[in-house]
Amino acid sequence: MNLKMLGWNDFFQEGYNNSQSEGYEMGRICVEHKHIYRIYTRIGEVIGEISGKMRFHANGMNDYPAVGDWVLINLREEEKKATINGIIPRKSKISRKVAGNETEEQILAANFDTVFIVSSLNKDFNVRRIERYLIMAWESGGSPVIILSKADLCDNIDEKIEELLPIALGVPIHIISSVDGIGMREIEQYFGMGKTVAVLGSSGVGKSTLINHLAKKEVLEVQNIREVDDRGRHTTTHRQLVILPSGGIIIDTPGMREFQLWDGDEGVNDTFEDINSLALNCKFNDCSHEAEPGCAVKTAIKDGNLLESRYKSFKKLEKELIHFEKRKNELERINNKKKGKKY
């Protein structure tokens, strides 16, 4: 198997050279399931497990491989198995906080160039949710692209695009229908030899149908839309890397109805660039855009130049990230303490 076809390039070669890589080969994680991995290597697909040493040194989920990661492996060719000994430094990653009350990072995908944010044009269309995905995408290190799917089920597409324009500053928007083939050729521009696209979106927005169309075969299960609420059923239960016949790679992720951001400072700045630009004209440098006199943000809302719903979303996310940053700092303190005990 050609590693360049899998996305191997100078960035990963440098990471490999700078790692304790002597005696190890490299492979790319294509599926992860409860710490059992399928890995693409020079001899094809193999099954991999984490070495005991790597498991001992891991402090959290982010120290384990994610789909898309390049890893250092001991390859056992006859068995078609491998032992994973380390992770080559990532160039990009999509992270979220794990579900529940735990403060821990869950990496959904790694080492991609572009992030497709897929939202259907039926009743599941939600601007605020797309806004959160944009923050996640900007923070990841990839370039976001909004894909509006199921165009065959929508008769007011122009209105939906108008709703998106205030939040999609500089982000390409593509309208597609996997059923009718609308817009599918346009999105092929993001693929090519060694290029990787990660796909984000809620359950039932058409991610699996899109990937099957690009793969030109049924690689992922698809279920029909429920008539009661116009939503597709959740089908993907794990993350998966798919090699496309035309060149390029796509990483599918499980659909998410709700998610909490793991990082977001840079993503918020990029997603809410309009509000940050307005804030430069506030009377006070530390304006909180609440009740201060001379607030350019509040003036813009009053004059109709900024939607109040967008401002409220900005403030909500800002408070969420401040609160979560405190929890992350506490987690770091605990992990540092654990590291001290290990050694």
The annotation status of 30 as a binding-site residue, yes or no, is no
The reply to whether 165 and 297 lie within a common domain is no
The Cα–Cα gap between 174 and 179 comes to 15
The annotation status of 194 as a binding-site residue, yes or no, is no
The annotation status of 154 as a binding-site residue, yes or no, is no
Residue pair 233/286 in contact by the 8 Å Cβ criterion:
no
From residue 1, alpha-carbon distances to 40, 171, 333 in Å are 8, 34, 43
pLDDT at 229: 45
Structural domain for 48, as ranges: 10-87
Q: Which of 72, 87, 102 is the last residue in one of the domains?
A: 87
The annotation status of 151 as a binding-site residue, yes or no, is yes
Chain segment 88-135, per-residue pLDDT in tens: 999 999 987 665 555 667 889 999 999 999 999 988 888 888 988 888
Residue 26: partners with Cβ closer than 8 Å, 6 or more residues away: 3, 8, 12, 16, 41, 70, 71, 72, 73, 88
The reply to whether 247 and 101 lie within a common domain is yes
The annotation status of 295 as a binding-site residue, yes or no, is yes
- Name beta bridge partners: 71: 27, 87
Q: Which of 224, 252, 280 is the last residue in one of the domains?
A: 252
pLDDT at 236: 44
Which tokens sit at 57?
């040194």
Q: Can you give the CATH number for the domain in which 78 is found? A: 2.40.50.140
The annotation status of 205 as a binding-site residue, yes or no, is yes
Q: Can you give the CATH number for the domain in which 99 is found? A: 3.40.50.300
Is 29 inside any structural domain?
yes
The annotation status of 174 as a binding-site residue, yes or no, is no
The reply to whether 138 and 197 lie within a common domain is yes
The annotation status of 207 as a binding-site residue, yes or no, is yes
From residue 100, alpha-carbon distances to 270, 273, 295 in Å are 28, 31, 37
pTM listed for this prediction:
0.77
The reply to whether 205 and 278 lie within a common domain is no
Which tokens sit at 24?
């190890």
The reply to whether 245 and 178 lie within a common domain is yes
Which tokens sit at 46?
């193999």
The annotation status of 23 as a binding-site residue, yes or no, is no
The annotation status of 202 as a binding-site residue, yes or no, is yes
Is 316 inside any structural domain?
yes
The annotation status of 152 as a binding-site residue, yes or no, is yes
At position 242, the amino acid (one-letter code) is: V
The Cα–Cα gap between 110 and 145 comes to 17
The reply to whether 49 and 175 lie within a common domain is no
Q: Which of 87, 103, 133 is the last residue in one of the domains?
A: 87
Residue 270 in this model has a pLDDT that exceeds 80: no
Chain segment 39-84, per-residue pLDDT in tens: 999 999 999 999 999 999 888 888 999 999 999 999 999 999 999 9
